[in-house]
A and B are shown apart, each in its own frame.
Chain A
Amino acid sequence: MLFSLVKKDFLIVKKYAGIMLLASFLIPPVMLWRAPEATGAMGFTLAVIFSIFMLTQYVALKEYQYPKATTLLCALPYPRKMIVLSKYCFCLIIYGVCCLVFGIDTLLFPRLGAFDIRMAVIIFLIISLLLSFYFPALYRLGYERTKFVFVIIIMASPVLFGFLFKPENAIRFEFLDTVSTTAIIVLGVMVSLAAFSISAAVSIRFFEKSDLT
Protein backbone atom coordinates (compact mmCIF):
# COMPACT_ATOMS: atom_id res chain seq x y z
CA MET A 1 0.00 0.00 0.00
CA LEU A 2 2.73 2.43 1.01
CA PHE A 3 4.64 1.65 -2.16
CA SER A 4 1.61 2.49 -4.33
CA LEU A 5 1.13 5.81 -2.61
CA VAL A 6 4.80 6.73 -2.98
CA LYS A 7 4.60 5.67 -6.61
CA LYS A 8 1.59 7.95 -7.02
CA ASP A 9 3.68 10.96 -5.96
CA PHE A 10 6.42 10.02 -8.41
CA LEU A 11 3.82 9.65 -11.17
CA ILE A 12 2.59 13.17 -10.40
CA VAL A 13 6.10 14.67 -10.64
CA LYS A 14 7.32 12.50 -13.49
CA LYS A 15 7.33 15.52 -15.84
CA TYR A 16 9.85 17.30 -13.66
CA ALA A 17 11.81 14.35 -12.31
CA GLY A 18 14.34 14.48 -15.18
CA ILE A 19 14.87 18.22 -14.78
CA MET A 20 15.37 17.88 -11.03
CA LEU A 21 17.77 14.99 -11.56
CA LEU A 22 19.79 17.17 -13.91
CA ALA A 23 19.63 20.09 -11.45
CA SER A 24 20.85 17.97 -8.56
CA PHE A 25 23.69 16.78 -10.78
CA LEU A 26 24.66 20.31 -11.92
CA ILE A 27 24.22 22.35 -8.74
CA PRO A 28 27.37 21.14 -6.89
CA PRO A 29 29.85 21.65 -9.80
CA VAL A 30 28.21 24.93 -10.85
CA MET A 31 28.44 26.23 -7.29
CA LEU A 32 32.07 25.25 -7.13
CA TRP A 33 32.69 27.07 -10.41
CA ARG A 34 30.80 30.24 -9.44
CA ALA A 35 31.90 30.31 -5.80
CA PRO A 36 35.25 28.54 -5.41
CA GLU A 37 35.13 29.03 -1.64
CA ALA A 38 32.04 26.81 -1.52
CA THR A 39 32.50 23.21 -0.53
CA GLY A 40 31.04 20.12 -2.11
CA ALA A 41 28.88 19.69 0.99
CA MET A 42 27.30 23.07 0.42
CA GLY A 43 26.44 22.27 -3.19
CA PHE A 44 25.06 18.90 -2.16
CA THR A 45 22.93 20.47 0.57
CA LEU A 46 21.48 22.95 -1.90
CA ALA A 47 20.86 20.22 -4.47
CA VAL A 48 19.02 18.14 -1.87
CA ILE A 49 16.93 21.09 -0.63
CA PHE A 50 16.00 22.07 -4.18
CA SER A 51 15.13 18.56 -5.30
CA ILE A 52 13.09 17.61 -2.25
CA PHE A 53 11.20 20.85 -1.79
CA MET A 54 10.53 21.52 -5.47
CA LEU A 55 9.11 18.04 -6.02
CA THR A 56 7.22 17.90 -2.72
CA GLN A 57 5.72 21.30 -3.38
CA TYR A 58 4.69 20.23 -6.88
CA VAL A 59 2.85 17.23 -5.42
CA ALA A 60 1.22 19.55 -2.87
CA LEU A 61 0.17 21.88 -5.70
CA LYS A 62 -1.48 19.04 -7.61
CA GLU A 63 -3.24 17.84 -4.46
CA TYR A 64 -4.44 21.40 -3.93
CA GLN A 65 -5.69 21.54 -7.53
CA TYR A 66 -7.49 18.21 -7.25
CA PRO A 67 -8.65 18.03 -3.62
CA LYS A 68 -11.23 15.39 -4.48
CA ALA A 69 -8.42 13.05 -5.53
CA THR A 70 -7.16 13.01 -1.94
CA THR A 71 -10.74 12.55 -0.76
CA LEU A 72 -11.08 9.56 -3.07
CA LEU A 73 -7.86 8.01 -1.74
CA CYS A 74 -9.17 8.41 1.80
CA ALA A 75 -12.47 6.83 0.77
CA LEU A 76 -10.55 3.73 -0.36
CA PRO A 77 -9.09 1.27 2.13
CA TYR A 78 -5.91 3.39 2.35
CA PRO A 79 -5.46 4.48 5.97
CA ARG A 80 -4.84 8.21 6.24
CA LYS A 81 -1.73 7.38 8.24
CA MET A 82 -0.30 5.61 5.21
CA ILE A 83 -1.04 8.58 2.96
CA VAL A 84 0.97 10.85 5.27
CA LEU A 85 3.84 8.39 5.69
CA SER A 86 4.13 8.06 1.92
CA LYS A 87 5.13 11.74 1.75
CA TYR A 88 8.04 11.16 4.12
CA CYS A 89 9.10 8.08 2.14
CA PHE A 90 8.88 10.10 -1.08
CA CYS A 91 11.38 12.60 0.36
CA LEU A 92 13.68 9.85 1.67
CA ILE A 93 13.83 8.29 -1.79
CA ILE A 94 14.64 11.66 -3.38
CA TYR A 95 17.38 12.09 -0.78
CA GLY A 96 18.76 8.65 -1.67
CA VAL A 97 18.80 9.56 -5.38
CA CYS A 98 20.54 12.87 -4.59
CA CYS A 99 23.23 10.96 -2.65
CA LEU A 100 23.76 8.71 -5.64
CA VAL A 101 23.96 11.66 -8.05
CA PHE A 102 26.36 13.54 -5.79
CA GLY A 103 28.48 10.40 -5.51
CA ILE A 104 28.80 10.44 -9.30
CA ASP A 105 29.55 14.20 -9.16
CA THR A 106 32.46 13.64 -6.79
CA LEU A 107 33.91 11.05 -9.13
CA LEU A 108 33.62 13.37 -12.14
CA PHE A 109 34.66 16.55 -10.31
CA PRO A 110 37.29 15.60 -7.72
CA ARG A 111 37.48 19.21 -6.46
CA LEU A 112 34.09 18.68 -4.84
CA GLY A 113 35.89 16.48 -2.32
CA ALA A 114 35.01 13.04 -1.11
CA PHE A 115 31.42 12.05 -0.34
CA ASP A 116 31.37 9.99 2.78
CA ILE A 117 28.75 8.66 5.13
CA ARG A 118 29.60 11.40 7.63
CA MET A 119 28.53 14.13 5.21
CA ALA A 120 25.49 12.13 4.14
CA VAL A 121 24.28 11.82 7.75
CA ILE A 122 24.88 15.48 8.65
CA ILE A 123 22.99 16.69 5.58
CA PHE A 124 20.27 14.12 6.20
CA LEU A 125 19.92 15.64 9.66
CA ILE A 126 19.52 19.15 8.21
CA ILE A 127 16.91 17.94 5.70
CA SER A 128 15.01 15.89 8.25
CA LEU A 129 14.77 18.90 10.56
CA LEU A 130 13.48 21.11 7.73
CA LEU A 131 10.93 18.49 6.63
CA SER A 132 9.88 17.87 10.21
CA PHE A 133 8.57 21.40 10.35
CA TYR A 134 7.39 21.58 6.75
CA PHE A 135 5.00 18.60 6.66
CA PRO A 136 3.02 19.37 9.83
CA ALA A 137 2.74 22.96 8.58
CA LEU A 138 1.50 21.68 5.21
CA TYR A 139 -1.15 19.46 6.79
CA ARG A 140 -2.22 22.13 9.27
CA LEU A 141 -2.14 25.25 7.12
CA GLY A 142 -2.61 23.82 3.64
CA TYR A 143 -0.78 24.45 0.38
CA GLU A 144 -1.69 28.13 -0.05
CA ARG A 145 -0.17 29.29 3.21
CA THR A 146 2.70 26.83 3.24
CA LYS A 147 3.95 27.87 -0.18
CA PHE A 148 5.42 30.99 1.42
CA VAL A 149 7.50 28.77 3.71
CA PHE A 150 8.63 26.91 0.61
CA VAL A 151 9.52 30.14 -1.22
CA ILE A 152 11.49 31.32 1.80
CA ILE A 153 13.43 28.04 1.99
CA ILE A 154 14.18 27.97 -1.74
CA MET A 155 15.09 31.66 -1.98
CA ALA A 156 16.96 31.90 1.30
CA SER A 157 19.11 28.78 0.97
CA PRO A 158 21.56 30.04 -1.70
CA VAL A 159 21.77 33.50 -0.11
CA LEU A 160 22.24 32.07 3.37
CA PHE A 161 24.83 29.55 2.27
CA GLY A 162 26.64 32.18 0.19
CA PHE A 163 26.77 34.45 3.23
CA LEU A 164 27.83 31.76 5.66
CA PHE A 165 30.63 30.50 3.51
CA LYS A 166 32.22 33.86 2.73
CA PRO A 167 35.73 33.78 4.26
CA GLU A 168 34.97 36.69 6.59
CA ASN A 169 31.73 35.07 7.87
CA ALA A 170 32.90 31.52 7.60
CA ILE A 171 31.37 29.18 10.11
CA ARG A 172 33.91 26.74 11.33
CA PHE A 173 32.81 23.14 11.38
CA GLU A 174 36.21 21.89 12.47
CA PHE A 175 34.78 20.95 15.85
CA LEU A 176 33.01 18.13 14.06
CA ASP A 177 36.40 16.65 13.22
CA THR A 178 36.97 16.00 16.91
CA VAL A 179 33.80 13.87 17.12
CA SER A 180 34.14 10.28 15.98
CA THR A 181 32.41 9.24 12.76
CA THR A 182 30.45 6.54 14.57
CA ALA A 183 29.14 9.06 17.10
CA ILE A 184 28.07 11.45 14.32
CA ILE A 185 26.34 8.67 12.40
CA VAL A 186 24.54 7.23 15.43
CA LEU A 187 23.57 10.62 16.83
CA GLY A 188 22.64 12.07 13.42
CA VAL A 189 20.48 9.12 12.45
CA MET A 190 18.81 8.96 15.86
CA VAL A 191 17.97 12.66 15.93
CA SER A 192 16.73 12.50 12.32
CA LEU A 193 14.54 9.48 13.05
CA ALA A 194 13.21 11.09 16.23
CA ALA A 195 12.41 14.29 14.32
CA PHE A 196 10.69 12.32 11.54
CA SER A 197 8.71 10.21 14.04
CA ILE A 198 7.44 13.21 15.98
CA SER A 199 6.75 15.15 12.79
CA ALA A 200 4.92 12.20 11.17
CA ALA A 201 2.82 11.68 14.31
CA VAL A 202 1.83 15.36 14.33
CA SER A 203 1.12 15.36 10.56
CA ILE A 204 -1.02 12.22 10.86
CA ARG A 205 -2.98 13.80 13.69
CA PHE A 206 -3.59 16.96 11.66
CA PHE A 207 -4.60 14.99 8.56
CA GLU A 208 -6.90 12.64 10.47
CA LYS A 209 -8.68 15.61 11.99
CA SER A 210 -9.14 17.43 8.72
CA ASP A 211 -12.46 17.58 6.86
CA LEU A 212 -11.99 16.46 3.28
CA THR A 213 -13.83 18.38 0.59
Chain B
Amino acid sequence: MDKILEVSVLNKSYGDFALCDISFYLPEGCITGFVGINGAGKTTTLRSILGLTNKVSGAVNFFGMDMAGNENKIKDRIGIVLGDGCFYEELTLLEMKNVIAPAYKNWCEQDFADYMEQFSLNPRQKINTLSKGMRMKYALALALSHKAELLIMDEPTSGLDPLVRSQLLKILKDYMNRGGRGVFFSTHITSDLEKTADMLIMIDGGQIVFQEEKDQLLDSYRIIKGGTEKLNMDTRGYFLNIEENAFGFMGITNQASHVMEHMQDVLVEKATIEDIMLANVERRKRDAV
Protein backbone atom coordinates (compact mmCIF):
# COMPACT_ATOMS: atom_id res chain seq x y z
CA MET B 1 0.00 0.00 0.00
CA ASP B 2 1.26 3.49 -0.87
CA LYS B 3 1.70 6.01 1.89
CA ILE B 4 -0.33 9.14 1.25
CA LEU B 5 1.09 10.87 4.31
CA GLU B 6 4.34 10.16 6.06
CA VAL B 7 5.44 12.08 9.12
CA SER B 8 8.97 11.58 10.40
CA VAL B 9 10.45 12.80 13.68
CA LEU B 10 8.17 15.79 14.00
CA ASN B 11 8.97 18.02 16.94
CA LYS B 12 7.18 21.11 18.07
CA SER B 13 7.22 22.76 21.46
CA TYR B 14 4.99 25.23 23.22
CA GLY B 15 5.71 26.54 26.69
CA ASP B 16 4.87 23.46 28.74
CA PHE B 17 3.90 21.04 25.99
CA ALA B 18 5.87 19.41 23.21
CA LEU B 19 5.38 16.97 20.38
CA CYS B 20 8.30 14.58 20.65
CA ASP B 21 9.61 12.71 17.62
CA ILE B 22 6.17 12.11 16.12
CA SER B 23 6.39 9.52 13.34
CA PHE B 24 3.53 7.77 11.59
CA TYR B 25 2.10 7.18 8.14
CA LEU B 26 -1.28 6.91 6.47
CA PRO B 27 -1.69 4.00 4.07
CA GLU B 28 -3.69 4.64 0.93
CA GLY B 29 -7.31 3.53 0.92
CA CYS B 30 -7.76 3.66 4.69
CA ILE B 31 -9.77 5.65 7.17
CA THR B 32 -7.30 6.38 9.91
CA GLY B 33 -8.38 7.48 13.35
CA PHE B 34 -6.10 9.66 15.44
CA VAL B 35 -7.02 9.07 19.07
CA GLY B 36 -5.95 10.54 22.35
CA ILE B 37 -7.41 12.25 25.37
CA ASN B 38 -7.91 16.02 25.45
CA GLY B 39 -4.56 17.77 25.43
CA ALA B 40 -2.69 14.72 24.10
CA GLY B 41 -1.43 16.65 21.06
CA LYS B 42 -3.89 15.65 18.31
CA THR B 43 -4.73 19.17 17.17
CA THR B 44 -1.13 20.34 17.48
CA THR B 45 0.00 17.42 15.32
CA LEU B 46 -2.62 18.16 12.67
CA ARG B 47 -1.76 21.88 12.71
CA SER B 48 1.94 21.08 12.46
CA ILE B 49 1.64 18.74 9.50
CA LEU B 50 -0.52 21.31 7.70
CA GLY B 51 2.10 24.02 8.19
CA LEU B 52 -0.08 26.07 10.52
CA THR B 53 2.45 26.24 13.30
CA ASN B 54 5.87 27.73 13.44
CA LYS B 55 9.27 26.27 14.34
CA VAL B 56 8.51 22.66 13.54
CA SER B 57 11.31 20.22 12.89
CA GLY B 58 10.98 16.91 11.07
CA ALA B 59 9.72 15.84 7.68
CA VAL B 60 6.14 15.78 6.40
CA ASN B 61 5.45 14.12 3.06
CA PHE B 62 2.05 14.09 1.36
CA PHE B 63 1.59 11.98 -1.77
CA GLY B 64 5.38 11.52 -1.86
CA MET B 65 6.03 15.28 -1.91
CA ASP B 66 7.81 17.21 0.79
CA MET B 67 5.45 19.69 2.46
CA ALA B 68 8.27 22.21 2.81
CA GLY B 69 8.59 22.88 -0.89
CA ASN B 70 5.15 21.95 -2.19
CA GLU B 71 2.74 23.36 0.35
CA ASN B 72 0.16 24.87 -2.00
CA LYS B 73 0.31 21.98 -4.45
CA ILE B 74 -0.35 19.57 -1.58
CA LYS B 75 -3.09 21.66 0.04
CA ASP B 76 -4.86 21.74 -3.31
CA ARG B 77 -5.31 17.97 -3.01
CA ILE B 78 -6.47 17.89 0.61
CA GLY B 79 -9.89 18.56 2.10
CA ILE B 80 -9.83 20.16 5.53
CA VAL B 81 -12.44 20.15 8.28
CA LEU B 82 -11.36 22.02 11.39
CA GLY B 83 -14.42 21.51 13.54
CA ASP B 84 -16.70 24.15 14.95
CA GLY B 85 -16.07 27.89 14.64
CA CYS B 86 -13.94 27.90 11.53
CA PHE B 87 -16.19 30.20 9.49
CA TYR B 88 -17.10 33.87 9.59
CA GLU B 89 -20.50 33.36 11.09
CA GLU B 90 -22.21 36.48 9.74
CA LEU B 91 -21.64 35.33 6.16
CA THR B 92 -24.09 33.18 4.26
CA LEU B 93 -23.12 29.69 3.13
CA LEU B 94 -22.80 30.97 -0.42
CA GLU B 95 -20.57 33.90 0.59
CA MET B 96 -18.27 31.65 2.61
CA LYS B 97 -18.11 29.22 -0.29
CA ASN B 98 -17.12 32.13 -2.56
CA VAL B 99 -14.20 32.85 -0.23
CA ILE B 100 -13.01 29.25 -0.14
CA ALA B 101 -13.66 27.99 -3.67
CA PRO B 102 -11.16 30.25 -5.53
CA ALA B 103 -8.32 28.77 -3.48
CA TYR B 104 -8.72 25.42 -5.24
CA LYS B 105 -7.75 24.71 -8.83
CA ASN B 106 -10.15 21.76 -9.09
CA TRP B 107 -13.17 23.29 -7.41
CA CYS B 108 -16.33 21.69 -8.77
CA GLU B 109 -19.52 23.75 -8.49
CA GLN B 110 -21.64 20.75 -9.41
CA ASP B 111 -20.19 18.65 -6.59
CA PHE B 112 -20.80 21.48 -4.15
CA ALA B 113 -24.39 21.93 -5.32
CA ASP B 114 -24.95 18.17 -5.01
CA TYR B 115 -23.61 18.08 -1.45
CA MET B 116 -25.68 21.13 -0.47
CA GLU B 117 -28.77 19.40 -1.78
CA GLN B 118 -27.87 16.08 -0.18
CA PHE B 119 -27.37 17.79 3.19
CA SER B 120 -30.48 20.00 2.77
CA LEU B 121 -28.43 23.20 3.14
CA ASN B 122 -29.74 26.53 1.91
CA PRO B 123 -26.95 28.63 0.33
CA ARG B 124 -28.72 31.88 1.35
CA GLN B 125 -28.78 30.92 5.02
CA LYS B 126 -26.37 32.61 7.42
CA ILE B 127 -23.80 30.36 9.05
CA ASN B 128 -24.72 31.54 12.56
CA THR B 129 -28.23 30.14 12.09
CA LEU B 130 -26.99 26.60 11.44
CA SER B 131 -27.02 23.87 14.05
CA LYS B 132 -23.75 22.15 14.95
CA GLY B 133 -24.63 19.17 12.80
CA MET B 134 -25.48 21.35 9.80
CA ARG B 135 -22.22 23.27 10.19
CA MET B 136 -20.32 20.02 10.12
CA LYS B 137 -22.14 18.96 6.96
CA TYR B 138 -21.42 22.35 5.39
CA ALA B 139 -17.73 22.01 6.32
CA LEU B 140 -17.74 18.60 4.65
CA ALA B 141 -19.43 19.98 1.53
CA LEU B 142 -16.64 22.57 1.26
CA ALA B 143 -13.91 20.03 1.95
CA LEU B 144 -15.18 17.50 -0.58
CA SER B 145 -16.03 19.75 -3.54
CA HIS B 146 -12.57 20.03 -5.07
CA LYS B 147 -11.79 16.38 -5.76
CA ALA B 148 -9.80 16.06 -2.55
CA GLU B 149 -7.70 12.93 -2.43
CA LEU B 150 -7.19 13.06 1.32
CA LEU B 151 -9.61 14.35 3.93
CA ILE B 152 -8.16 15.65 7.19
CA MET B 153 -10.55 16.41 10.03
CA ASP B 154 -9.95 17.69 13.51
CA GLU B 155 -12.50 16.39 16.03
CA PRO B 156 -15.34 16.35 13.49
CA THR B 157 -17.77 14.44 15.70
CA SER B 158 -17.21 16.43 18.87
CA GLY B 159 -20.48 17.88 20.20
CA LEU B 160 -22.65 16.13 17.61
CA ASP B 161 -25.62 13.96 18.49
CA PRO B 162 -25.44 10.21 17.66
CA LEU B 163 -27.64 10.54 14.56
CA VAL B 164 -25.50 13.25 12.95
CA ARG B 165 -22.37 11.36 13.93
CA SER B 166 -23.59 8.25 12.22
CA GLN B 167 -24.55 10.30 9.12
CA LEU B 168 -21.07 11.81 9.08
CA LEU B 169 -19.47 8.39 9.26
CA LYS B 170 -21.61 7.25 6.37
CA ILE B 171 -20.47 10.28 4.34
CA LEU B 172 -16.87 9.28 5.01
CA LYS B 173 -17.49 5.76 3.77
CA ASP B 174 -19.24 7.14 0.66
CA TYR B 175 -16.26 9.43 0.06
CA MET B 176 -13.90 6.46 0.16
CA ASN B 177 -16.18 4.50 -2.16
CA ARG B 178 -16.18 7.39 -4.62
CA GLY B 179 -12.43 7.23 -4.95
CA GLY B 180 -11.04 9.09 -1.95
CA ARG B 181 -7.51 7.93 -1.18
CA GLY B 182 -7.71 8.42 2.57
CA VAL B 183 -9.34 9.97 5.59
CA PHE B 184 -7.42 11.06 8.65
CA PHE B 185 -9.46 12.23 11.58
CA SER B 186 -8.74 13.01 15.15
CA THR B 187 -11.27 12.23 17.84
CA HIS B 188 -11.63 11.36 21.46
CA ILE B 189 -15.01 9.70 20.78
CA THR B 190 -13.61 6.28 20.10
CA SER B 191 -16.95 4.58 19.42
CA ASP B 192 -16.98 6.37 16.03
CA LEU B 193 -13.75 4.65 15.13
CA GLU B 194 -15.05 1.20 16.01
CA LYS B 195 -17.53 1.64 13.14
CA THR B 196 -15.36 3.20 10.45
CA ALA B 197 -11.63 3.19 11.04
CA ASP B 198 -9.24 0.79 9.35
CA MET B 199 -6.13 2.08 11.08
CA LEU B 200 -5.59 3.67 14.48
CA ILE B 201 -2.88 5.96 15.73
CA MET B 202 -2.77 6.91 19.37
CA ILE B 203 -1.02 9.92 20.81
CA ASP B 204 -0.49 10.76 24.45
CA GLY B 205 1.60 13.48 26.08
CA GLY B 206 2.90 14.55 22.67
CA GLN B 207 4.21 11.07 21.80
CA ILE B 208 2.86 8.39 19.50
CA VAL B 209 1.86 5.37 21.58
CA PHE B 210 0.92 3.02 18.76
CA GLN B 211 -0.07 2.77 15.12
CA GLU B 212 -1.91 -0.40 14.24
CA GLU B 213 -4.66 -1.79 12.09
CA LYS B 214 -7.89 -1.59 14.07
CA ASP B 215 -8.80 -5.28 13.88
CA GLN B 216 -5.29 -6.33 14.80
CA LEU B 217 -5.26 -3.90 17.70
CA LEU B 218 -8.62 -5.04 19.03
CA ASP B 219 -7.46 -8.60 18.70
CA SER B 220 -4.31 -8.05 20.72
CA TYR B 221 -5.93 -6.53 23.81
CA ARG B 222 -8.17 -8.28 26.31
CA ILE B 223 -10.01 -7.34 29.49
CA ILE B 224 -9.30 -9.84 32.26
CA LYS B 225 -11.52 -10.15 35.32
CA GLY B 226 -10.92 -12.34 38.33
CA GLY B 227 -10.23 -12.58 42.04
CA THR B 228 -7.47 -10.42 43.50
CA GLU B 229 -5.76 -13.54 44.95
CA LYS B 230 -4.61 -14.31 41.41
CA LEU B 231 -2.53 -11.16 41.26
CA ASN B 232 1.12 -11.29 42.25
CA MET B 233 4.27 -9.39 41.32
CA ASP B 234 4.73 -11.41 38.12
CA THR B 235 1.16 -11.47 36.87
CA ARG B 236 0.65 -7.76 37.52
CA GLY B 237 3.38 -7.12 34.96
CA TYR B 238 1.14 -8.44 32.17
CA PHE B 239 -1.38 -5.67 32.62
CA LEU B 240 -1.41 -2.11 31.39
CA ASN B 241 -3.75 -1.12 34.20
CA ILE B 242 -5.55 -2.90 36.98
CA GLU B 243 -8.61 -1.81 38.91
CA GLU B 244 -9.14 -3.60 42.18
CA ASN B 245 -12.09 -3.65 44.55
CA ALA B 246 -13.57 -5.91 47.22
CA PHE B 247 -14.99 -8.28 44.61
CA GLY B 248 -11.90 -8.76 42.49
CA PHE B 249 -9.87 -7.08 39.80
CA MET B 250 -10.27 -5.96 36.22
CA GLY B 251 -7.24 -5.33 34.07
CA ILE B 252 -6.33 -4.76 30.44
CA THR B 253 -3.55 -6.69 28.84
CA ASN B 254 -1.92 -7.05 25.48
CA GLN B 255 -0.30 -10.32 26.61
CA ALA B 256 -3.46 -12.42 26.84
CA SER B 257 -1.66 -15.70 26.11
CA HIS B 258 0.71 -15.18 29.05
CA VAL B 259 -2.17 -14.27 31.31
CA MET B 260 -4.09 -17.40 30.31
CA GLU B 261 -1.01 -19.49 30.95
CA HIS B 262 -0.39 -18.12 34.44
CA MET B 263 -3.87 -17.22 35.65
CA GLN B 264 -6.60 -19.84 35.63
CA ASP B 265 -10.29 -19.26 36.19
CA VAL B 266 -10.35 -15.68 34.98
CA LEU B 267 -12.93 -14.06 32.75
CA VAL B 268 -11.64 -12.85 29.38
CA GLU B 269 -13.49 -10.19 27.38
CA LYS B 270 -12.79 -8.20 24.26
CA ALA B 271 -11.57 -4.66 24.85
CA THR B 272 -12.94 -1.58 23.09
CA ILE B 273 -10.79 1.14 21.59
CA GLU B 274 -11.69 3.34 24.55
CA ASP B 275 -10.51 0.63 26.99
CA ILE B 276 -7.25 0.32 25.09
CA MET B 277 -6.73 4.08 24.92
CA LEU B 278 -7.40 4.65 28.60
CA ALA B 279 -5.29 1.67 29.66
CA ASN B 280 -2.35 3.02 27.69
CA VAL B 281 -2.82 6.48 29.17
CA GLU B 282 -2.84 5.05 32.68
CA ARG B 283 0.16 2.84 31.98
CA ARG B 284 2.13 5.81 30.69
CA LYS B 285 1.10 7.90 33.67
CA ARG B 286 2.26 5.16 36.02
CA ASP B 287 5.54 4.70 34.17
CA ALA B 288 6.21 8.42 34.30
CA VAL B 289 5.93 8.53 38.10
Task: Let me know if A66 and B53 touch, CB within 8 A.
Answer: no
Taking each of A4, A5, A208, which has the highest tally of chain B beta carbons within 10 Å of its own beta carbon? A4
Task: Let me know if B75 and A69 touch, CB within 8 A.
Answer: no
Residues of chain B lying within 8 A (CB to CB) of residue A4: 98-99, 101-103
The answer to the question of A34 belonging to the interface, with a C-beta cut-off of 8 Å to chain B, is no
When each residue 1-25 of chain A gets 1 if its CB lies under 8 Å from chain B and 0 otherwise, what string results? 1011101100110010000000000
A179: min CB distance to chain B, Å: 44
Task: Let me know if B86 and A68 touch, CB within 8 A.
Answer: yes
User: Given A4-B99, A68-B83, A71-B86, does the pair A76, B52 have CB atoms closer than 8 Å?
Assistant: no
Residues of chain A lying within 8 A (CB to CB) of residue B255: none
A178, B23: Cα distance in complex, Å: 69
User: Given A75-B50, A79-B72, A210-B54, does the pair A68, B82 have CB atoms closer than 8 Å?
Assistant: yes
A68, B90: Cα distance in complex, Å: 14
Q: How many inter-chain contacts with C-beta < 8 Å in the A-B complex?
A: 83
When each residue 46-68 of chain B gets 1 if its CB lies under 8 Å from chain A and 0 otherwise, what string results? 01001111100000000000000
Task: Let me know if A68 and B85 touch, CB within 8 A.
Answer: yes
The answer to the question of A211 belonging to the interface, with a C-beta cut-off of 8 Å to chain B, is yes
Residues of chain A lying within 8 A (CB to CB) of residue B50: 75
Choose one: B52, B87, B102, B105; the contact of A75 (CB below 8 Å).
B52
- Restricting to B87-123, which residues have a CB under 8 Å from any CB of A? 87-91, 95, 98-105
B185: min CB distance to chain A, Å: 14
A62, B96: Cα distance in complex, Å: 14
Residues of chain B lying within 8 A (CB to CB) of residue A5: 99
A12, B86: Cα distance in complex, Å: 14
Residues of chain A lying within 8 A (CB to CB) of residue B87: 66, 69, 72
A79, B83: Cα distance in complex, Å: 21
A212, B14: Cα distance in complex, Å: 12
B154: min CB distance to chain A, Å: 9
User: Given A11-B95, A209-B54, does the pair A78, B103 have CB atoms closer than 8 Å?
Assistant: yes
Given contacts A11-B95, A71-B82, A77-B75, 16 further A-B contacts (CB under 8 A): A3-B102, A8-B99, A11-B91, A12-B91, A62-B88, A66-B86, A66-B89, A69-B88, A72-B82, A73-B103, A75-B50, A77-B71, A79-B71, A211-B14, A211-B52, A212-B52
* Contact surface of B with A, Cβ cutoff 8 Å: 14, 47, 50-54, 71-73, 75-76, 80, 82-91, 95, 98-105
* Contact surface of A with B, Cβ cutoff 8 Å: 1, 3-5, 7-8, 11-12, 15, 62, 66, 68-69, 71-79, 208-212
